[in-house]
Amino acid sequence: MSQDIVAPMPGTVLEVLVKPGDSVKADDEIVILESMKMENPICASSDGTVKEVKVNEQAKVDTNQVLVVIE
């Protein structure tokens, strides 16, 4: 079952730390999101494999926009 990792707030993607095929564990940092001049790590919510990265670095994102899909 796939799980979408979404942006908790609007911001700019500073860094994408994973690529499709990477294994991740719960609480691993997968994206760094800048919002209100602060860097916010976005973490995996469960163990799995990165199926798809839906954003690029420097992309502007909205609240609840899908960043990464983990299966």
Residue-level pLDDT at 1: 82
Residue-level pLDDT at 31: 98
Walk along the chain (71 residues) and give the pLDDT tens digit of each residue. Answer: 899 999 999 999 999 999 999 999 999 999 999 999 999 999 999 999 999 999 999 999 999 999 999 99
- Helix, strand, coil abundance in the chain, percent, nearest 5: 0, 55, 45
Indicate the pTM of the whole model. Answer: 0.94
Question: Which CATH code fits 3-70?
Answer: 2.40.50.100
**Alpha-carbon dihedral sign for residues 54, 56, 59, 60:** positive
